[in-house]
Structure 1
Amino acid sequence: MNIALRRISLLLSVALILAAAVLAILAGQRYSARFDWTADQRHGLSTASQRVIEALDGPITFVAYMYPGTERQRLRERLGRYVNADARIRLEFRDPARHPRRVRELNIGPDGAVVVRVDDRTAKIDQYDEASVTQALQRVSPGGSPWIVFVAGHGERGLDDTATAGYADFAAALDAQGLRTRNVNLAAAHAVPDNTGVLVIASPQQRYLPGEIDMIRRYVDNGGTLLWLDDPGPRYGLTPLADDLGISFLAGTVVYPDYQTLGTTSPAISAIAQYPNTPITRSLNQVTLFPFAGALAGDSDSGWQADVILRSATRSWLETGSLEGNSITYQPDAGDRLGPLTLGYALNRQRDADDSASATRAQRAGVVADSDFLDNGHLALLGNRRLGLAIVQWLAGRDRQIAIDVPEAPDARLVLAPGRLADLRAVFVVALPIGLLLIGGLRWGLRRRRR
């Protein structure tokens, strides 16, 4: 009787296990669940990418020109997080052998490529990491890929300059947002390029020619968008442009007496932690640092609406004297001004529209009394990069993409100092093999003795 009960119990256990396995298989086919425990949810979509998708109207199609095989499956896995993120997104595969004409038109190589299509706007990608794909989505956004044109020829910050004071990193950050960058020498071009989306003046060090100043003023007068980043010191002939914008640069450098508490190493580094409620700064919740910044004043009768976007702390002041030494004090009799001080303005005004669809359109400009905060040495500090991108996005009319910046996962790369690499090599290449040989030899010797 006991044997029969045991057999029945065994059969029931096997049946239950099989039933559970069948139910698990059926549930797995019908339902799916994904868990991403990597830093920044690397196998899902970042918040920045989700905002880009939300900013796009209508269906979004990824058309992959790839030969059948394992590469298709890999691409399906990599783009799957986009397809799963929004019901409007779909992925299509096309065999290049069946579409030779289209492949030639798109200049697609043997490894294939993906074309992102939104309405009649397209962008080609051959790198499928999140930053590259999201950048392509930004290029097909309604705002397109405007040209951010930097004035050159007067010692301005260089887009190709990789030194500490250069703007190479900022140019790369703009490119990653789907914004195209280039330099223009006005003396050689004789005019601001017609396809300029935003004209940038970044801390000139030499005087502009009168004709160059006229070109810039004419560009602004005709409705062009301007970003002016400058530091304390001379304006090199650009004072008439400041008058046109209704702003003035105040003499002196903004200092902060409690710099040692923050550990910023210099009283001339302004830290801003609170921002006015503007489209540029509304989602900015990080501290930004401005080395050797100046201050601005606005003219309410200029015809521009000037919104403050950057304001120094109450305990700061505008130092008009020398910054050398450790005894910098507030001296109102010497011309010092007590904070809070304005470091940046977002300007806009209504102008007659170019077409009959609307009576007016908004013209925008931005002025910041500091250019160091976006250079290679300071761009990566705290919220500087995010602020710089938000300013340019707003100026370019990409309001729905302000503060969109796909972050790099902090654990994506392993960087070790040369000394640490030598230590690891000594442990795993030398010490560990020798230790294993010694342990093996000792065990072999002990076994021989026991025999």
Structure 2
Amino acid sequence: MRAIYKIARLELSNLFYSPVAWLLLILFVFVTGMGFAEVLERLARQQELSSNGLYAISKKLFYFTSGGLWLKVTKFFYLLMPLLTMGLVSQEFNRGSIKLLFSAPITGRHIVLGKYLGVMLYGLIMTGILLVYVIIAGSMVESFEWATVLTGLLGLYLLFGLYAAIGLFMSSLTVYPIVAAIGMFALLTVLELISGIWQEYAFVREITYWLSLGGRTNTFIAGMICSEDVFYFVIMSAMFLGFAILKLQLCRESCSFMGKLGRYMGIFVVALLLGYITSRPMMKWYYDATYTKDNTLTQASQDIVSKLDGGLKMTTYVNLFGSIHNMTTKEIKDDLARYDRYVRFKPETKMDYVFYYHVDTTTDIFKKRYPGKTLKQAAKDEAKLQNTRLSKYLTPEEIDAKIDLSDEGYRFVTLLEREDGKKAFIRVYNDMWRLPSEAEISAALKRFAMKLPRVGFLSDHDARSIVGSRNRDHSYMVAAKTFRNSLINQGFDVVDVNLGRGREVLDSLDILVVSEPLEPFTTEEIEMLSRYIEEGKNLVLAGKPKTYTYLDPLMDLLGLRFEPGVLVQRQIEEYPSNLVLSRVTESAKDISRYWEILYGYTSRAFRPLSLVMPGAAAIAQESDKGFQLIPLLETRDSSGWNELETIDFLNDTVRLNSSIGEVAGKRMTMVGLEREKAGNQQRIIVLGDADCFSMGELATTRRGIQSGNGHLVMSMFDWLSNGELPVDVSRPRNIDNKLALSMAGGATIKTVLQWILPSLLLILGVIVLFRRKGK
């Protein structure tokens, strides 16, 4: 150990007696100081001049993907380390001093470890410089995220150590330092790209993916310490140090080529074996250092996974012709990474991928792209286009024999299966994100963990249902499989309800939706619906101005009424006056998280969301039936009234006529009712416009109006399900949002870090080098 220490001290002194180490250190301080100070100064300017304020300052300074300091340091290390390490051993061979080392009472292990320790001490100096930036930021940022930032700094030092080990090994292979530097660049490139090699072969995929360096440091920079990544840096550094030690030992020994190769392979195989063991899900441990726990499942998702006793299998079916999302066998590891957070809490999860080709029945893209070709011919062309092998894909007959995916339209889909036979699907969605988020994945898993709310949509008397495809129906927001926020994708069980089947169908429901029936209910049906309400179950009633009378018997039970006439507002640009824009009330924002968010969206001053109702009836309380009434939506201002005369709102101009009872003022367009009934917390929502969550309205865009109706649907059913669904995947807000630095102070710090500190290092380096030369 004493010999290793002496060599390390000598190596460190030699580094600082050469201009290369000083120049690299000065350049390092200049580049990192400039990068840190520029962001710090920009944030100080933004805080002083902008009214929006700051948020997540620690992230923006250090680990933000587009401008954080840590990512810049990783790129600098990539360029710096080959220059720093290229002469560690090669110069010993080049100068002939290696013979002196071989003649000394030390082994190759002492030489390699001593030189490696010397370089790591140099790395500690660089780390100390970075720590100065951390301390500066920590002293100025309120509630600074010390743990997250220091976790990133740990990752940088581990990366430096691996680069140093690789550089030392490459330096031991040649007498030319420049060749060692080029060789290191080449090897680092291989380690960055190796994860994409032979990914279609399961065994090779595990090896190449583990060997890959790409993204390992980013895990630390993001604030996550994963045992697999820690062991990766330790094992890979030890492997290259072992290679270097073996190389120096073989310089002293006479050994055949196969003997040398066998010894190198022995080290390599041991490293791979250790890597395989430490990368198994059961062997991993994690620490998320972020305040908001961005790298971990939310508490709601953790609770769901904790209730999943027994095994879980996830099988992803990938169609070669998938229209929304697709992948090849080479991308399996990237797709598996999406579920790492779940496997962390349920490591016994089994994951499989099945590739097949079949016509996507939800689109006619196949006919347009491959006119006149058979499915087999088109599959061959598509496989060539995606640079994959068609032999890896099941034929339509083979996939149909394995599983029936016709209901899913033969799209990209993941099937979840439990040991007890329960199944659920995770889908992809026709939006800009395409892939499922934590909310959708956890909602699917929650089906296994507990009984979820069952929602029935009444289809009697031509009420708006979930089985129709008309604009007035609710199929899109309820049962559209490619719509992320549809109820089925958020975990709800949804059924079509026909009162003619008997009262039993209502007994199985938790929520019943009755949306604008166009015919009156029979006496028996009113009795069934009245009993449903008296049993304390949740309900949604949605009417329209011309047809609301069919709901009057149910409204009487609730002590409410729809006001006569059509609700109108001051005309909005070119739109008719019966296009009503509503907003969330003060009383609504306190009933649930979703309503609070929606309140913020509708009340903000700049580009607020509007809850659009194209033809609404106002709602009023007629009598007290024991409910607590909560106004949920109201018109945006007091300029509206119930229009009693106008019929053609598109061509006619509405005018307030007080002589016939028209009175201007704010009106309620949606109300909530709540009470304790039959041991349940009963919740009921009444809307004055059934169109506001219809297929036609949710698919409509209007110039100058930002609709929030999709958010409204989530708010409604979150409250009606007592917060069970959608799954709450919200996280705490960042608290490091205040910077104790002025614009002038930011400019001063930038000058000090970018110019004065590098200049001081330059002066110190010149003094040391001149003194060395004088000696």
Cα pair 1:344 1:367 within 8 Å, conserved: yes
CA distance in 2, matches of 1:197, 1:182: 11
> Which residues of structure 2 form unaligned runs of 5+?
1-90, 96-173, 192-210, 222-293, 318-326, 354-400, 406-412, 429-433, 481-485, 602-608, 701-706, 731-775
Q: Which stretch of structure 1 is more off in the superposition, 288-297 or 226-235?
A: 226-235
Q: Which among 319, 326, 329 is matched to residue 655 of structure 2?
A: 329
Partner of 2:597: 283
Once the two structures are superposed, what CA deviation does each residue of 1:209-259 show, in whole Å capped at 9, x if it has no partner?
Answer: 011001001011011111111111354454232122222111111111132
Once the two structures are superposed, what CA deviation does each residue of 1:157-204 show, in whole Å capped at 9, x if it has no partner?
Answer: 132221222222122222222223222221342454321121110001
CA distance in 2, matches of 1:59, 1:192: 29
SS at match of 1:56: helix
CA distance in 1, matches of 2:334, 2:427: 14
In the alignment, does 2:445 pair up with 1:140?
A: yes
Partner of 1:130: 435
Once the two structures are superposed, what CA deviation does each residue of 1:298-340 show, in whole Å capped at 9, x if it has no partner?
Answer: 2573211111111102222221222424321122332223221
In the alignment, does 2:618 pair up with 1:311?
A: no
Map residues 355-366 of structure 1 onto 2, 5 A cutoff. 361-366=680-685
Cα pair 1:151 1:184 within 8 Å, conserved: yes
Closer/same/farther in 2, CA of residues 191 and 288 from structure 1, 3 Å limit: same
Closer/same/farther in 2, CA of residues 352 and 191 from structure 1, 3 Å limit: closer
Q: Which among 655, 670, 674 is matched to residue 348 of structure 1?
A: 674
Partner of 1:63: 313
In the alignment, does 2:590 pair up with 1:271?
A: no
CA distance in 1, matches of 2:564, 2:557: 19
How much does 1:108 deviate?
A: 6.3
CA distance in 1, matches of 2:437, 2:473: 24
Cα pair 1:62 1:90 within 8 Å, conserved: no
How much does 1:109 deviate?
A: 3.7
Cα pair 1:64 1:91 within 8 Å, conserved: no
Closer/same/farther in 2, CA of residues 291 and 32 from structure 1, 3 Å limit: same
How much does 1:135 deviate?
A: 3.9
In the alignment, does 2:684 pair up with 1:339?
A: no
User: How many positions carry a matched residue from both structures?
Assistant: 367
How much does 1:392 deviate?
A: 2.1
In the alignment, does 2:709 pair up with 1:384?
A: yes
Cα pair 1:374 1:385 within 8 Å, conserved: yes
Q: Which among 4, 7, 11 is matched to residue 176 of structure 2?
A: 11
SS at match of 2:506: coil
Give the partner amino acid of 2:668: T
Closer/same/farther in 2, CA of residues 94 and 403 from structure 1, 3 Å limit: closer
Cα pair 1:317 1:339 within 8 Å, conserved: yes
Cα pair 2:438 2:729 within 8 Å, conserved: no
SS at match of 2:695: coil
CA distance in 2, matches of 1:85, 1:140: 10
Closer/same/farther in 2, CA of residues 95 and 227 from structure 1, 3 Å limit: closer
Once the two structures are superposed, what CA deviation does each residue of 1:400-444 show, in whole Å capped at 9, x if it has no partner?
Answer: 627989xxxxxxxxxxxxxxxxxxxxxxxxxxxxxxxxxxxxxxx
CA distance in 1, matches of 2:423, 2:629: 36
Closer/same/farther in 2, CA of residues 94 and 372 from structure 1, 3 Å limit: closer
How much does 1:21 deviate?
A: 6.0
Partner of 1:397: 722
Cα pair 2:633 2:670 within 8 Å, conserved: yes
How much does 1:391 deviate?
A: 0.9
Map residues 251-262 of structure 1 onto 2, 5 A cutoff. 251-260=564-573
Once the two structures are superposed, what CA deviation does each residue of 1:279-306 show, in whole Å capped at 9, x if it has no partner?
Answer: 2521122322101101111257321111
SS at match of 2:500: helix
SS at match of 1:337: coil
Partner of 1:115: 416
How big is the alpha-carbon RMSD for the aligned residues of Structure 1 and Structure 2? 4.2
Closer/same/farther in 2, CA of residues 20 and 237 from structure 1, 3 Å limit: closer
Map residues 27-426 of structure 1 onto 2, 5 A cutoff. 28=213, 31-33=216-218, 53=301, 56=304, 58=306, 62-64=312-314, 74-84=331-341, 87-88=344-345, 90=347, 92-93=349-350, 109=403, 114-115=415-416, 123-125=423-425, 130-131=435-436, 135=440, 137-141=442-446, 144-171=451-478, 172=480, 173-260=486-573, 263=574, 265-276=575-586, 277=589, 278-279=591-592, 280-284=594-598, 285=601, 286-298=609-621, 301-314=624-637, 315-324=639-648, 325-353=651-679, 361-381=680-700, 382-399=707-724, 401=726
SS at match of 2:717: helix
Closer/same/farther in 2, CA of residues 176 and 302 from structure 1, 3 Å limit: same
Give TM-score, length-normalised by structure 2: 0.42
Report the identity percentage: 21
Q: Which stretch of structure 1 is more off in the superposition, 140-149 or 361-370?
A: 140-149
CA distance in 1, matches of 2:504, 2:342: 45
CA distance in 1, matches of 2:477, 2:404: 33
CA distance in 2, matches of 1:237, 1:273: 27
Give TM-score, length-normalised by structure 1: 0.68
Give the partner amino acid of 2:641: W
Closer/same/farther in 2, CA of residues 87 and 152 from structure 1, 3 Å limit: same
Cα pair 2:543 2:551 within 8 Å, conserved: no
The structure where helix makes up a greater share of residues is: 2
Closer/same/farther in 2, CA of residues 373 and 238 from structure 1, 3 Å limit: closer
Cα pair 1:148 1:196 within 8 Å, conserved: yes
Give the partner amino acid of 1:308: P
Give the partner amino acid of 1:168: S
Cα pair 2:439 2:727 within 8 Å, conserved: no
Once the two structures are superposed, what CA deviation does each residue of 1:373-392 show, in whole Å capped at 9, x if it has no partner?
Answer: 12221013422122123212
Closer/same/farther in 2, CA of residues 205 and 346 from structure 1, 3 Å limit: same
CA distance in 2, matches of 1:65, 1:320: 59
Closer/same/farther in 2, CA of residues 56 and 404 from structure 1, 3 Å limit: same
CA distance in 2, matches of 1:306, 1:200: 19
CA distance in 2, matches of 1:178, 1:365: 20
CA distance in 2, matches of 1:65, 1:203: 41
Partner of 2:739: none
Q: Which stretch of structure 1 is more off in the superposition, 217-226 or 395-404?
A: 395-404
> Which residues of structure 1 form unaligned runs of 5+?
36-45, 97-106, 354-360, 406-451
CA distance in 2, matches of 1:228, 1:110: 37
How much does 1:133 deviate?
A: 8.3
CA distance in 2, matches of 1:157, 1:189: 20
Closer/same/farther in 2, CA of residues 299 and 399 from structure 1, 3 Å limit: farther
Q: Which stretch of structure 1 is more off in the superposition, 197-206 or 84-93?
A: 84-93
Once the two structures are superposed, what CA deviation does each residue of 1:32-69 show, in whole Å capped at 9, x if it has no partner?
Answer: 4389xxxxxxxxxx99x9797367362767523699xx
Cα pair 1:202 1:371 within 8 Å, conserved: yes
Cα pair 1:306 1:345 within 8 Å, conserved: yes
Cα pair 2:581 2:611 within 8 Å, conserved: yes
Cα pair 2:542 2:688 within 8 Å, conserved: yes
How much does 1:17 deviate?
A: 4.0
SS at match of 2:554: helix
